[in-house]
Amino acid sequence: MIYLWGFNSWLPAYLQKARHFNLTHTGFYSALPFILMLAGQFGGAWIGDRTGRRAAICGGGLLLAGLSIWLAAIVPDATMAAWCLAFSAFFWGATVPTLFAIGLQIVPTQVTAAGFGLYAGAANLVGSAAPFIMGAIIGYTNDYGAGLYFLVIACCLLSFGMIPLLRKY
């Protein structure tokens, strides 16, 4: 959720202020990640169900989301940066259904609602700090790229959380 909260909060400002998109282009490139995120959700779910390798898809998707954001921060072309951000959303989208499918295998059926409620609550509580942290980084450095690096680090580090689950899921 760090990705989603941070991405949603700062994408339009990043495109306008750091990449100098006009409002017309900003609207299109602000919507594009969510279209690709939906495609990633379908793709991740389909591959996860076909292969049973949900932890690998989840961890790999999160790692690729982070690397795509990193590319967005370093490419010189604004349009290419927007596409890198959109593809990061595609990869993050692939993590969502696989993560919930793994959760269904781990959480006992008697407490599924409570388990997912606690998971979603904790994830949103932690994720909701991302816009503040990114804003503080951007304010301190006066660089939107530095704010994106926070998402890169979070995605890449948290992708390793799937390693213990790789053998079983």
More confident residue, 101 or 11: 101
* Residue 135: pLDDT band with limits 50, 70, 90: very high
* pLDDT, tens digit (0-9, with 9 covering 90-100), for 80-128: 999 999 999 999 999 999 999 999 999 999 999 999 999 999 999 999 9
- The predicted-structure confidence for 26-62, as pLDDT tens digits, reads as follows 778 888 999 999 999 999 999 999 999 999 999 999 9
Structural domain spans, the chain: 2-162
Judged against a pLDDT cut of 80, whether residue 24 lies above it is answered with: no
Q: Give residue 16's pLDDT.
A: 85
Closest C-alpha among 153, 143, 150, 149 to residue 13: 143
What are residue 164's phi and psi, to 5 degrees? -65, -20
C-beta separation of 1 from 123 below 8 A = yes
Can you read off the two tokens belonging to residue 47? 């591959």
Q: What is the pLDDT of residue 82?
A: 92
H or E element in which residue 144 lies:
helix 144-159
At the fourth CATH level, the homologous superfamily of domain 2-162 is: MFS general substrate transporter like domains (1.20.1250.20)
Average pLDDT of span 136-160: 94
- Which tokens sit at 160? 């390793």
The sign of the torsion formed by the CA atoms of 32, 37, 38, 40 equals positive
